[in-house]
Amino acid sequence: MSGLRVLVTGAAGLVGAEVTARLANEGHTVLALVHTRSEIVRNDGRVVRTVPIERSGPGLVSCVAGDVTKPMLGLTTERHEDLATGLDRVVHAAATTDFGRRWETYESLNVDGTRNVVRLAAERAVPLVHVSTAYVCGERTGRVLEDELDVGQRFGTGYERSKFLAEQEVRAAAVPAAVVRPSMIVGTQESGVIRDFKNMYVVLKLFTQGRVRSVPGFYDALLDLVPVDYVAALICQVVNQFDEARGRTFHAVGAAPHTLLDVSNALAEYPMFEVPHYVSPSAFDAGALPPDERVYYRRIIAMYESFFRRRARFDDTNAARLAPWRPAATGVDYLRTLLDHCVRVGYLGRAEAGIGDVLRLAGRPR
């Protein structure tokens, strides 16, 4: 297949950076829309070499500063025209994935931002690959199919609801589109390497340090962990095989979900780690926690609480057909790989100074 001209939004993010680098390595011309970061850094820390958009070409990445929340992506008319002319694909990966943000932030970045990108793709009749989340299913239990979206589900976080609304924007638009829904993105299959320790990693830090010892949840609750390299590879596969992917949704999920018991068993293998105790949600009382633990629970853990009682299993039939090299990493062995990396780089195994540092790592204002 000859090289495509591809616009990637959110190109400085964890997934966006990997997708950008992989598409360039495949010989595509990549236009990388970034916002606050001036560099595109891959998951393993390598900086992606970029060239001015005037010198863009096959195998090269051109970095463009913009803002998906604004009309014309925050670009001048001339720059917008340069960006949009001759596009073959748009990959929309720009979003805030932090929990605990104000709804206005989610609405602006995840919903309005998607609407603006959809408008660009529709105006130019450019195929759109939209990066969503498997957790648009909300707090559903049981098997979740890839072609399902609105089934009256309840959402556990504002992030999930915003991505649900963003998917609705994509489905309602007169634009050829495919959707990729990652679950909880974690380190690579082979080494567990991860660029950004966010979301569930912050929870693990609080657990292993003993900052939070009691959590409302069930030991048979399911966490679906997916390696970042598989997510990026699947997105690129959808870009390259869009004719086959068009109109479909793809769950980018792990080989098998992990139970909270799996997580506890893995943590118990490390002598320096504390292991949390799960309490039935009906019996849990945050007010009865020790003062310090109560602060961490209310400021951090409460944002993730619904994940400790969910039992969703994501069907990935479409993804398996398009990309038969599904993740092989599963079970406690994979959890060890992730934890070993965290210990090796010093993220786990040593105490932070206080709640301010943990809030910073979680992406929340202090």
Res 364 pLDDT > 70:
no
Instruction: Using pLDDT thresholds of 50, 70 and 90, give the confidence band for residue 355.
Output: very low
User: What pLDDT sits at residue 327?
Assistant: 82
Rounded to an integer, the average pLDDT of 235-253 is 98
User: What pLDDT sits at residue 354?
Assistant: 45
Closest-CA residue to 234 (of 3, 7, 15): 15
Q: Where are the alpha helices (DSSP H) in 275-347?
A: 291-296, 302-304, 317-322, 331-344
Answer yes or no: are the C-beta atoms of 234 and 250 closer than 8 Å: yes
User: What pLDDT sits at residue 1?
Assistant: 54
Rounded to an integer, the average pLDDT of 290-316 is 95
Q: What is the DSSP letter of 197?
A: -
Rounded to an integer, the average pLDDT of 253-262 is 93
Res 288 pLDDT > 50:
yes
Instruction: Using pLDDT thresholds of 50, 70 and 90, give the confidence band for residue 366.
Output: very low
User: What pLDDT sits at residue 328?
Assistant: 75
Write down the mean pLDDT value for the chain. Answer: 93
Max Cα-Cα span within the chain: 63
Q: Per residue in 105-162, pLDDT tens?
A: 999 999 999 999 999 999 999 999 999 999 999 999 999 999 999 999 999 999 999 9
Instruction: Using pLDDT thresholds of 50, 70 and 90, give the confidence band for residue 350.
Output: low
pTM exceeding the 0.85 threshold for the entire prediction: yes
Intra-chain end-to-end CA distance of the chain, in Å: 49
Res 359 pLDDT > 60:
no
Q: What is the CATH number of domain 5-187+224-252?
A: 3.40.50.720
User: What pLDDT sits at residue 353?
Assistant: 42
Lowest model confidence (mean pLDDT) among 89-93, 168-172, 333-337, 347-351 = 347-351
Res 357 pLDDT > 90:
no
User: What pLDDT sits at residue 326?
Assistant: 79
Question: Which residues of the chain form beta strands (DSSP E)?
Answer: 5-9, 29-34, 61-65, 89-92, 128-131, 142-144, 177-182, 184-186, 214-216, 222-223, 225-227, 249-252, 258-259, 277-279, 312-314
Residue 331 identity: G
User: What pLDDT sits at residue 349?
Assistant: 83
Task: Give CA–CA dist 108/70, Å, rounded.
Answer: 9
Res 266 pLDDT > 80:
yes
User: What pLDDT sits at residue 329?
Assistant: 65
User: What pLDDT sits at residue 248?
Assistant: 98
Q: Per residue in 211-232, pLDDT tens?
A: 999 999 999 999 999 999 999 9
Rounded to an integer, the average pLDDT of 33-51 is 92
Backbone angle region of 182, left / alpha / beta, with phi > 0 → left and psi within -120 to 50 → alpha: beta
Instruction: Using pLDDT thresholds of 50, 70 and 90, give the confidence band for residue 361.
Output: very low
